[in-house]
Each structure stands twice: as structure tokens, then as C-alpha cells.
Structure 1
């Protein structure tokens, strides 16, 4: 039978034919695509023609098109609906792709052609985007070891292959721990829980094939359980399970993996001539140096810790008033913080949550994008990777812009967290190629016939990921390598975090936050109390985040520790981490950092981007308001459409006229007076 992955896709919008693709197709397809890519690269490297931008850089851009197309399908399935065969293939592909990547990076003839073009760049009559692509291509080869020879060259290939394998195993171990743990609840254990938590627990139990309700390690279920369960013993059990992912001993324990990853990253940096892996990694980011990152984090740490310490005193007093003796523990914080929110802001999550329906929040995200950028979303019937996935055609003035997919519900085989990815990137080299963009979340799935209700934080996550999607969908560049979110790591979160601000616009809430049963809009008084409470518990949120970001930075800015858990504890102690606030992501399940190189030494980037997003939204407020058309056009023209065609600082300065300071972030988080 014909392998659908290797055939032309005659589906609508050339979507992958998910209904025809089977796991057994992937190995053959990837092997064939790798052979095709190797042949294409070999032809470029050994060409007798003098190197030109077209026959070298552009040809390299297209060399692995088929491979990229197939892998986008595979990794979508592997991350959203994993099974043992897909996990085996992930491990196999990790080895093969690492080998291919090293072959390309270490191809001396290929690099010689690129180097020739670089030396001739001023006489090649290149466009600005072509000059940028040549610069980035050469830089990626140099940073991958193209200038190394002999043992260092061979050893670097071995190190990268091992790191790739370890990253895959790290991810699969977390998924296994999340998939296998569930805390079954008796009916008496449901006492004190809001109905939406009970419904989520019943749905989770049914999904696991259990007889009754259960709490799983899905964030959208376990966090509200920690917020509302009056049973301190059950909160502790749930919290310990959640925070011990990857550290339970046995085959899924990630502690030794983390230690080896840090040692190999250090060796990689040394082979390339850097003082540390953090120096290597940050060279291409806006921050540039570990010192700049540390300076930002510590500027925010001091006021954040002061706020968290003050909050801890009050929460402990509330706990003692309940007759609970002893210290405030991590499994107590969310429970008493929720009680405090109700006291301070008269907010009850059970009253609030019916106003945040998934369907309506998605409509709100679309509506804001329409007012800002003129795009429209219409549901379409196309092949998708899971029955829960929603598909939309994005158009502007009747013209096709993109396909947007939303995969919103948690399930057993889905990786935790939320992310944006693509099945196809925007580019013009091979024609006017429009993107297929996927947002993935892990919201609690409702019981049959009931609306999906989100927390306010869930709604912010939806807007956040749609901000990433807009960056992909509104991209307008020629080359895929600089398309969409192909920007510095500490710039990539700007569009996503900026888009969260539109959820807080009062008129948006008044229109789209409607009650699931009555259809009535959120009352103004409740809306205003909600907005007034957006900085509630910000000391906790900031401290848990900076704790993780500092551990990540120090792990990579110094000699690799023999025992990462011991070093983690030392770092947290040195900054005075409050005992009742854990790191947001402890080392054994810190997938941002250890599942791949993406956010290694760069978890700080969310805060770096937040400095800009607070300032960028202020630009709208200073102009004509949240939907000011001139600012919206500038945002698209100067940032969203540009991808990585220019340096991030250049793009932001063009949009805003200057780079911002940290004050807007501190004010936005309520850590200093506005």
C-alpha cells in the first residue's frame, strides 16, 4: 500500500491525511525523507558550480522539506496522543535526527560554500532578509561545531546525540508518571469542593476507567483541588504527587538524567570555546550574558519576596485560626490564598468560573484579533489528529491567511502544559505557503453534555497561546528559517504575553464572559472585582517563577553539579526561598530545561519578555486605547509579520521608539505602587 506520508496530500488546505496515517507508516517515511535530505545536502556540498545564495543557502532551506513535513505530523501525535509505539519511534528518531543534524553541521564542503558567501556578502546584492538568513545560517554552523576538527569535532557529535536521547527520555518519564498516578476520591472526599471541580474529577475518573471521581496530575484539575479541598491530608497527597514527578525512583526517575544533561551541556560549551553553557546559549538572545539575566531576576526578586513573606504571615494566621497548628506548608498556600481572595475581593471561584466558558473565550480571542488585525475565523471540516481538536480557517478580506487548530482538553497520552506549534510554516520560497498553526492546552474536559469551564488563569493561557499563533499566522517573510516565532527565545514570549492583556479589557469581558446557564454577561461589579484581583498572590507567583529561573541559570552558568538536587537546594537557600513556596518546576520535571535545549539557561525569558509586554500594551493605552488601529498596525508591521528577519531589539525599538525598563513589569505585578 502507498504510504500516505510520502504521497501528495490532496486534502483540503493540504492538511495531513490523519485518517489514513498509521504508526507503522512513520519509520519508512522518515527513513525515506532522511535519504532524500542527505542526497540534497550532498548535491549542494559537492556542486561544481560556484556558490551562490540560490544554489547554497536557498537550496539548503529546501533540502529537508519532506522530512520537516513528516516530522511535524509525527511530533504532533507523539506529544498530544502518545502510546508505546510512538514513544519507541521518538527514541529511534531522536538518534537518527541527531546523526543527520551533525552530518550537515560538520559537512566541511557545505560550510566552505557558506563561508565563501559570507566573505563575499557585500558584493552579492542581497536583500536585507537574505543577508540576515546568510548571517544566521553561518552562525548556526559555527555554533554547531563546523570549525572544529579531529577529536573535538567527533566528540561534539557524540555529545549532541546523547543529549537528544536524554531529552526524549526525560519527557517520556514525566508523561509516564503523569499517566500512571490518580487519587481516587470517595463521595465524602468531595465535600467542600465546588461543582466544577467535582465534575472535573468525575470526568477524569471516567477517562481513567475508574468507578468514581479521581484527581489526576492535570494542572487544570489538581490546582483547583489544592485551592478548594478542605482535606489537608488529601491536599498533601496530591501536592506531593504533583511535585515529585520524575523523582519517584525506578525507570522513570529523571534525577540522574538531569545530572548527565548538565555535564554534557558544559562539555559542549567547552568544546566550542565558551566559559559555560549559559554563555554559549545566551550569546544569541537579547540578554547576551548570564550577568544581565541575573540582574533582571534579582531586581524583581527583592520586592516579590517581600510581598510573599507578608502574604505568608497572613495565610499562616488564617490557618491557625482554623485550628491547624504548625507551619504553613506548600499544600496549604493555594487553599488559604483562595480564602484570602474571597475575603479581600469578594471573589468566589465557583461563582466566577461559569462565566469563563471555553467556547466564549475562544470567540473572544478571535474577536480581539479581528478588531486588531482584521482577521476572521470560520470552522472548517478537515482531517485533524484527535476528535477533540477544533479547526478554523483564518481569512482577511476574504483571502486565506492560515489554518488554526485548537486541542484544548487533557487526556492520558498528552504531554502536560500548553504550547503552540505548527504543522506548516509560512514562507514564500516554495510559493505563497500559508501556515497551519496548532494551540495545545490541558483544560479539564467536562462531562458529556456540559460546557467546558475555565478558570481565569486557564483563559489567560488560551489568550497566551493564541498570541503565539498570531505570530505564526501573520508572519510575512520569504524564508521558513526566519518565519513566525523563529526569533530570540527571550523575545518569542512578547506576542503571547502581550495578547493576554486583551482578556483584561473590561469591554471584552463584558461581551464574552457570559454565564454558562443563564447567558447573562458577567456583572460589572464582579468583573471589576476580578480585574482588581489580577495581582492577588503575585508575590507567590513571582517567587515560584524566579526560583526556577535562577536555578536554571546557575545550573548552566557554573560548573555542572554532581548532584543537581543538592545544588538546587543550595541555590534556593542562598536567595532565601520561602519554605512554603516551591519552585514552579523542580529539576526532575523541569521539561522546559531538560526535555531539550529550548529554554535551557533561558527560563528567565518569560520575565524578559514581560518587561516588554507591559510596556507594549502601555503604548496602546497611551494612544487610542486597547484597540487603537495605528498601534495594532505597528504591532503587525514591526513585530508579528517580521519573524526573525531582524534583531529583536531593533524590531521592538521600531515599534515603541525605545527599550523599556523593569518598572512597568513591577507595576503590572503590583509589586510597587503604580
Structure 2
């Protein structure tokens, strides 16, 4: 029996802000709830298309926006869990659900009768008295259904549906394989001496990870999603560094049951065939046709423009590292880069970033840094709700209020790594804001910070501090977007614009009023010394050749795979050789500077939403760097500046052209010069 009495997912929302009742939800509740929600949504759409009345904005577009509320609620609750606590039962459900979800989505997006009604409203758009958001809603639905294949004939639609279902299975398999192989490849060390250079907290986390795996007395270092593990900067034992990087780079490419090479090759083939069916020469062309970039050529031109000076800078940095390594009789290899980078940084700037961790205690960074910046800039208040429960015991729930005391939404934080959580860091929306549906936003940030032993404080690296501020920028976007229609809620913007607000939020990390408030020594309470802050600023462009090169390399691999035509993608491609050729093509084939993600663990593009879109980070950073200049020119951390940024950009959500919103905020288009200067690419 699957009704509202026995299945909490089907009961009307009863918790504040419609937070899912995770304390009552069990894995066996999800599939029945999805089946119920699929049927309800199908019936709602059928009711729209069965009307004899002429299509209008109200009876077609508004009705469509009202439909699917149950499915939206169930899906957001479930997919939050799949990425953050994907235990075996959840993974099995996700595999079964993937083709069903794809088939349902296609049934709606490819519905000929629905598309005909929307097309009729779209044809009369200039005759309708609609506000700007409503007009944009008509335009977006018409364009998205067109791009999805709604105009194809029945045979083509059937093939498209098959391809989409196959892709849903493949991308789920890719993520499952990656999680399993990452867990299997966590590096086990027998002695604390093997991990010399780690802090007491890091060593504690490694011991705790070993204990949780039944390896008492040993040490386990789990792998991060990206290639370079943060511990590579600290480990004095070269063999330990080598083992750690080797494990990272071999993920899902070892010829075992979790090998992703065949999976990703088929993903590429299927995406290319789908693009051809839709009338595009490649998957990249299909994706970028509906992004701010407009075409793969625009994105690739930017990548090539940046790659040349980035590679030159990386070689220069490598030469500097080699001079220091010569004293140790070492020829620099990839696993040495981070370690010797910190040595050179210390020599040039008298700066040991690892030694800064006592100033970055996680709770203080969160409350007196991340939250404090938002409070100062936007006037919001954030308070923990201990009475509300997340999907895992480690998830914390906070309520956010506006400056006038009005309720805004909920923010959930899931800080620590665990074997059931995928790598990386991300934000997602559990409940989407919509005045039409009467819903307020509920958003969650996930990170993968190593959890120390009980009673030991969590001390963050500067990179982890940056990630916390970055992801909260996404959260603010999700909280502040105020739209009528759920289609535009939160971060539902173009993929190559979505990273912009999160990158802007990173600016407050070293902003004087913010830094002095949160960067306090864990033992003494003393502020981070001013001379250290000055050296941090002085070293901001340091190692940017490496950082830019590894990022651009991954972006180019993404473009290379997804730029293949269907006949090219159907060839028997050797993954390693393909990657090597792609990196040589853009001049980023330096073996000492490996790509941030290799194909077999490139989850962003093979199991996430960034396929043909990993360029988005640098594309958005053009806007970000230009916005930071605007804040500096206009007084920095002020409520007036915050209100302007909130209402003219963040508050728009997806309800308008993002570049038009940027021009409204900035007064002009973005200038690339601040980005070039930030990354040391001006010479």
C-alpha cells in the first residue's frame, strides 16, 4: 500500500518550508512515490492538452507550471540523497529509476499536443499583455522543447527517447563506478611516519577513517574528486605522495568491474547520436546553442586565448620549483608539484599555507566568516534549527530571515566526507521557491572535509575555506532568487552563468572586515597577523600558471569529447591516447601539470550537468573578476552594494536574460582585463 498514510513522501508537506520529513523516509518509500508522482504529472499535462479551448497563457503555460509539483518534491528529496548519502539501497533505486525518469521527462518534453499549444501561444506573443517574466516563460518553454526534439516525427522521437534512457543508465553507472573505485583506492598507510607533514587533525582524520574500515592502528587517506589531493602539499615522504597521486589518477581505469572507459565511450557515442538527431553537428554544439556563449567556437576561443600564457607561466613556475628541488636531488614530477610549490611560496613570501589552519576553525569560518559576510552585505540573519532534521545525522539545518525579519528559507550544511558521498563540493535545491506554488527555498551545501576524531576541532585549509564561501554563493543565489514560476527558481540559469554568483562570494574571504572577524587562532583567539595577510595578497597570482593550466586542460578534454561528430564518436577510441592528443592540440600536454580531471573520473561531464560545459567556470569568472572591481570601486562591503547585487542579479534567478541582468547591475558588458590580471595572464 502506497498512500499518504504509509508513505511520508506522498503526504502533504507538514514541516517548516516544506522540508522533506527525512526522519520518516525509508529507501522503500522512494519508488512508489515516484510512480505516483509520474502518474499525477502525466494526468495534469493530459488535462492541458485535452482542452477544447484555444491555447492561452493561463490555460497552457501557467497550468504547465502548476503541474508536476509532487514529482518535483519527490525528485528533489531523492536526488539530494543519491549524491550525498548514496548507500547501496539508494544506488539500486537510482539505477532502476534512471530510465523511468528519462522516459517520463521525454514524454512531457516531446508531447506533440503540448508543444502545439505552446507554439500557438508563442506565435501570438506580441499580441499578449504579459509581464517580462511571463513573456520570457513562453520563450523559454518554446525554445527548450524545440531543442529537446518536440518538433521531430514519431520515429525520431522514439529513437530520441531510447537514447535518453540509455544515457540516464550510463551516467548513473559512471558515478556508481567512480564512487566504488574511489573508496577501493583510498590509500592505506601503516605508519604515522609515512604521513609526516600532516597536521595533528589531518592525522587524526586518517586514523579515524582507518578505524571506520576496521583497520585499527593504521591510516587511510580517502581520495578527493579532483586529481591533486590537498595532502600532496604537505607530505614530506615522496613515496607517499607518489602513491596518493597514482591512486587518484588511476580511478575507474584499472580494468576492473569499476572501469569507466567503456561507459564514457558509450556516453560520448550516444550524446553525439542524439545531437545529430536534433540537427546539430556535435553534442557541444547542441548544448552551447542554449548558453550565453552561443557556440563551441566562442568557448574554445576563450580557452585557447588563455591556454598559451597559462602554459608559459606553468613552465616558468616549474623551472622555479626545479631549482629548489635540485637541492634535494629530485627531478620534479607531478606528485612533487604541490610540495615544492609550498617550499617556493615560503621562500618568496615567507608563507606556509599549511600553518594557517589553526586560524581556520570550521565553525568560526562558517558563522563569523561565511554567515557574517552575508549578514553584513544583505542584512540577513541565520540561526540554527536544532528541531529540524536533514537526510543524514551530520546535516545541520539553519533558518534564514531577511533584514525586516521576514522568513526567507532554509540552508542545510553537510560538511564532512563519507564513503556514501560523491566527491567534490556542490549546492542543490531541496525545495524551489515559487510564488505561483507558494513555496520558499530550501538549499543544501555539500563539502568533503575530512572529519577528525571526536573532540578534535575541524581545521580547514585555505582552499577549503574558499570552497565554503564558494558554495555558499550558490546557496545565496538559490535563497535570493524570487520568481513567480518554478521553471526559473533559484540557480535555474544558463550553465555558463551559474558559477558567477558563487565565484563573486569568494571575494569576502580576505576582505578586511570579514577576515578579522573569523580568522582567529584556535588556541589564543588572536587574529591572523596583518603581515601574513599582506603576504597572502602578494602571493595571489602565485602558481596561477599551474592552476589555470590544469583547469583549462580539463575544459579542453570536455570540449574534445563532446565536439566529436557521430561518426567520429563511433570509432574505437583509446581514452588515454585521445586525452593526450587533445592536450597536445591546445599546448597543455605537460606531464608535470596533469589535468584537473581525467576522463574516467570526470564526474562533472560524464555523470553531472556540465557536459560540454566545464568551460563555464572561466567563462563566468570574466563576470566575477569584473564584479569584484565594481565592489572595490563602489565602497566594498555595504548594504547598498549588497542590495543592488541581490535584486539586480541574484534575485532574477532564471527569469530573464542573465547578461541583460549583468548589464543592468554593472552598467555595461563585462571586461576580461580583470580576469587576465587576476590570473597573471597579461604579459
Tell whether the structures are fold-level matches, with TM greater than 0.5: yes
* Contact 1:196 1:350 (C-alpha < 8 Å) held by counterparts: no
In structure 2, distance between residues paired with 1:58 and 1:614 = 38
* Worse-matched range after superposition: 343-352 or 539-548: 343-352
1:507 Cα shift? Answer: 2.5
- Structure 1 counterpart of 2:248: 242
* Worse-matched range after superposition: 609-618 or 299-308: 299-308
* Aligned counterpart for 1:108 among listed residues 112, 125, 129: 112
Equivalent residue runs for 1:527-538 within 5 Å: 527-538=533-544
* Contact 2:389 2:395 (C-alpha < 8 Å) held by counterparts: no
Equivalent residue runs for 1:574-585 within 5 Å: 574-576=585-587, 577-585=589-597
TM-score (norm 1): 0.96
1:574 Cα shift? Answer: 2.3
The residue matched to 1:536 in structure 2 has which SS? coil
* Contact 1:179 1:413 (C-alpha < 8 Å) held by counterparts: no
- Structure 2 counterpart of 1:202: 207
In structure 2, distance between residues paired with 1:390 and 1:221 = 29
Equivalent residue runs for 1:201-220 within 5 Å: 201-211=206-216, 212-218=218-224
Structure 1 runs (4+) greater than 4 angstroms displaced: 219-222
* Aligned counterpart for 1:41 among listed residues 42, 45, 50: 45
Is it true that 1:552 corresponds to 2:558 in the alignment?
Answer: yes
* Contact 1:218 1:410 (C-alpha < 8 Å) held by counterparts: no
Could you give the per-residue CA deviations for residues 360-417 of structure 1, whole angstroms, max 9, x where no partner exists? Answer: 1112111111111111101112021111111111001211001000101001100100
- Structure 2 counterpart of 1:82: 86
Is it true that 1:570 corresponds to 2:577 in the alignment?
Answer: no
- Structure 2 counterpart of 1:300: 306
- Structure 2 counterpart of 1:402: 409
Is it true that 1:373 corresponds to 2:378 in the alignment?
Answer: yes
Is it true that 1:23 corresponds to 2:27 in the alignment?
Answer: yes
* Aligned counterpart for 1:154 among listed residues 142, 145, 158: 158
| Structure 1 residues 224 and 103, CA gap change in structure 2 (3 angstroms) | closer
In structure 2, distance between residues paired with 1:498 and 1:334 = 26
Is it true that 1:416 corresponds to 2:427 in the alignment?
Answer: no
* Contact 2:284 2:563 (C-alpha < 8 Å) held by counterparts: yes
Structure 2: stretches of 5+ with no match in the other structure: none
The residue matched to 1:641 in structure 2 has which SS? helix
In structure 2, distance between residues paired with 1:188 and 1:393 = 44
Is it true that 1:470 corresponds to 2:499 in the alignment?
Answer: no
1:26 Cα shift? Answer: 0.9
In structure 1, distance between residues paired with 2:524 and 2:604 = 41
* Contact 2:65 2:485 (C-alpha < 8 Å) held by counterparts: yes
1:223 Cα shift? Answer: 2.4
In structure 1, distance between residues paired with 2:224 and 2:264 = 23
Is it true that 1:181 corresponds to 2:185 in the alignment?
Answer: yes
The residue matched to 1:214 in structure 2 has which SS? strand
In structure 1, distance between residues paired with 2:501 and 2:187 = 38
1:219 Cα shift? Answer: 5.9
The residue matched to 1:427 in structure 2 has which SS? coil
1:151 Cα shift? Answer: 2.6
* Contact 2:227 2:597 (C-alpha < 8 Å) held by counterparts: no
* Contact 1:80 1:415 (C-alpha < 8 Å) held by counterparts: yes
Is it true that 1:610 corresponds to 2:621 in the alignment?
Answer: yes
1:222 Cα shift? Answer: 7.4
Could you give the per-residue CA deviations for residues 182-234 of structure 1, whole angstroms, max 9, x where no partner exists? Answer: 22221331334332331221222233332122111136997232112122222
The residue matched to 2:166 in structure 1 has which SS? helix
In structure 2, distance between residues paired with 1:271 and 1:656 = 40
* Aligned counterpart for 1:642 among listed residues 652, 661, 682: 652
1:28 Cα shift? Answer: 1.0
* Aligned counterpart for 2:604 among listed residues 571, 592, 595: 592
Is it true that 1:601 corresponds to 2:612 in the alignment?
Answer: yes
- Structure 1 counterpart of 2:505: 499
In structure 1, distance between residues paired with 2:324 and 2:165 = 52
TM-score (norm 2): 0.95
Equivalent residue runs for 1:257-276 within 5 Å: 257-276=263-282
1:588 Cα shift? Answer: 0.5
